[in-house]
Structure 1
Amino acid sequence: MKIVLTGYMGSGKSVVGKALAARLGLPFLDLDDQIEKELGMDIPEIFKEKGEIFFRKKEHEFLREILRSKEAFVLSTGGGTPCYSGNMDLLLATTAQIFYLQLSVFSLTNRLLAEKHHRPLISHLQHADLQEFIGKHLFERRPFYSRAHHTIHCDGRSVDEVVLEITKKLI
């Protein structure tokens, strides 16, 4: 079984993915971590030195490679992964279960304010601008995220509650 978690940055894909993988006894993979490991640079460095187009190309290559595996896993994608290079079509063609972890603009803004210096797309934004940026991005990305097999509403829910809902949908 290949389980893929999608959603906007800060939606909890990595935290939920690790907990879900542990509960199911499956390996956990984080696409951004794989990219960083293979390229020997962190994501902000890649964006700064190579640019977003280079990053998106590598993201697609690594996603394709991971999905070729015959092994079962839980995969956390980057927030933009489903929206570029035909990645959502690739995921739908090769993955048993795709989950969109959905949060409101308000919740995402609050989560991302504390960690924005680690996020190249938002590191320069102040609170009001960040909220507007997230709202615009969610509007643009919704057609991609909504193609997931399942949407999990995560506002006000703990990691354990989200993991429990996902596991119930796998049965």
Structure 2
Amino acid sequence: MTEITNFRGETSPGGSVEHLDKQVSTLIARVGERVRAARQRRGIPRRVLSDISGVSPRYLAQLEAGEGNISIGLLQRVAVALDHRIEWLVGEDDPWSSEALRVADLFRVAKADVQQSVLHALSPEPVETVRARRICLIGLRGAGKSTLGTRLGAELDLPFVELNDEIEEQAGMPVGEVMALYGQEGYRKLEAQAVSRVVAKHETMVLAVAGGIVAEPETYNILLTRFHTIWLRADPTEHMDRVRAQGDERPMAGNPEAMEQLKSILASREVLYGKALAQLDTSGQSVETSLAQLKTLVKERGYLG
């Protein structure tokens, strides 16, 4: 049995290589069990989790089976895609028995009105003051965020900002190049910084964000706290048709399962999008009709004071 000694020449407690290997195996098995449990609780197919996290289905299968010696970077991507902190996946304590984690988990899946009640009870500053007169449009690409956001800002005399434009300005390159150079993790960091910047810069505005921002818990929480969030939704067919009408054939090119994947992504994010303060279904509606409904919603909810 090989023992491990520290820099002072002392033998580590239980410090054999075999013992440490066993601890590592236990950790990997525990992480796999929690990834599988979190995925199943959210009803996300492994293929969809792969799309969201950027981790291959084969690697995810090995991870869930307790056979994947996953890197910290990849594990962080999986944690983000599952709307959990990485500590939840690796901690020794039972995550279901930890009060703080249990409350956080309940908060994540709670309805918007319940979340607002909790925030109101915990926040020393009134929620209305924190959100100021900022409106944020969330939802998948093709829901109408850019089109309606531009029109809403113009008609209400509010600045309209595309968050990806802020990211490109900060990075000095298009989003596609950001993704190619820095990957999903690098993009998410720039995204979080961009959100903080627009909050600091604008007391009143209309913001449109990328559809996947809801899978980044900390950044999404800033949106929910600092903005009056509105989920623009549409049925999957309209999402796809609108994107293609913009001249982008990528969703369907060489991918006959694109529609099923889109439906799965919508289903997996429904709870997250549902955290928004309000929803507006743009399916089958003209831009003018959707804009009128959006303006009415903003006025009736008092988002602009």
Tell me, yes or no, if the aligned pair for 1:19 and 1:159 is still in contact at 8 Å. Answer: no
Tell me, yes or no, if the aligned pair for 2:160 and 2:205 is still in contact at 8 Å. Answer: yes
Match of 1:43 among 137, 155, 175: 175
CA RMSD of aligned residues (A): 1.7
Partner of 1:56: 188
Once the two structures are superposed, residues 84-126 of structure 1 have per-residue CA deviations (whole angstroms, 9 ceiling, x without a partner) of 142221112112x211010111111222334144xxxx48653
Whole-Å separation in 2 of the counterparts to 1:140 and 1:86: 18
Identical aligned residues as a percent? 25
Whole-Å separation in 2 of the counterparts to 1:110 and 1:135: 14
Once the two structures are superposed, the pairs formed by residues 1-171 of structure 1 within 5 Å of their partners are 1-95=133-227, 97-113=228-244, 114-117=247-250, 122=251, 125-126=254-255, 128-171=256-299
* Deviation for aligned residue 1:68: 2.4
Give the 3-state SS of the residue equivalent to 1:101 in structure 2.
strand
Tell me, yes or no, if the aligned pair for 2:252 and 2:258 is still in contact at 8 Å. Answer: no
Whole-Å separation in 1 of the counterparts to 2:144 and 2:222: 22
Whole-Å separation in 2 of the counterparts to 1:129 and 1:48: 24
Whole-Å separation in 1 of the counterparts to 2:216 and 2:146: 20
Once the two structures are superposed, residues 9-52 of structure 1 have per-residue CA deviations (whole angstroms, 9 ceiling, x without a partner) of 12111111000000101111000111112212111111122111
TM-score norm. by structure 1 comes to 0.88
Whole-Å separation in 2 of the counterparts to 1:125 and 1:58: 30
Structure 1, unmatched stretches of 5+, are none
Structure 2, unmatched stretches of 5+, are 1-132, 300-305
Computing the radius of gyration over CA atoms, which structure comes out larger, 1 or 2?
Answer: 2
Count of paired positions: 165
* Deviation for aligned residue 1:150: 0.9
Say which structure, 1 or 2, has more relative contact order (CA 8 Å, 6+ apart). Answer: 1
